[in-house]
């Protein structure tokens, strides 16, 4: 399957175990990942994803949606 690497990929549940591996693979391929999160104050959940992004050619962007059940 071919993925257009110039477009971002939305990964829901990105802080979860399985989605974390999906995020890692996408970041390693140089793809921008959009990850919706509910709690902007809980940086502990983002630490793992931030480290993955630091060690890859991709980029992670967090979409804040505190009022929605994302």
pLDDT in tens, the chain (70 residues): 777 889 999 999 998 999 999 999 999 999 999 999 887 677 887 898 999 999 999 999 998 876 655 5
Whole-angstrom Cα distance, residue 43 to residue 2? 33
Q: What angle do CA 49, 52, 54 make, to 5 degrees?
A: 110
What is the pLDDT at residue 56?
95
In the structure encoding, which two tokens stand for residue 13, read together? 């549940």
H-assigned helices in the chain: 17-28, 44-54
Please tell me the predicted confidence (pLDDT) of residue 40: 67
Query: Residue 49's pLDDT is what?
Result: 92
Among the listed residues 49, 2, 51, the one whose alpha carbon sits nearest the alpha carbon of residue 63: 49
Supply 57's token pair. 């050619």
Residue 46 is predicted with a pLDDT of 87
Return the CA Rg of the chain: 12
């Amino acid at each position: 399957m071919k993925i257009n690497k110039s477009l971002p990929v939305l990964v829901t549940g990105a802080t979860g175990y399985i989605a974390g591996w999906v995020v890692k693979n996408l970041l390693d391929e140089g793809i921008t990942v959009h990850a919706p999160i509910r709690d902007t104050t809980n940086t502990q959940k983002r630490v793992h994803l931030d480290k993955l992004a630091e060690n890859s050619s991709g980029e992670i962007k967090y979409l804040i949606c505190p009022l929605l059940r994302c």
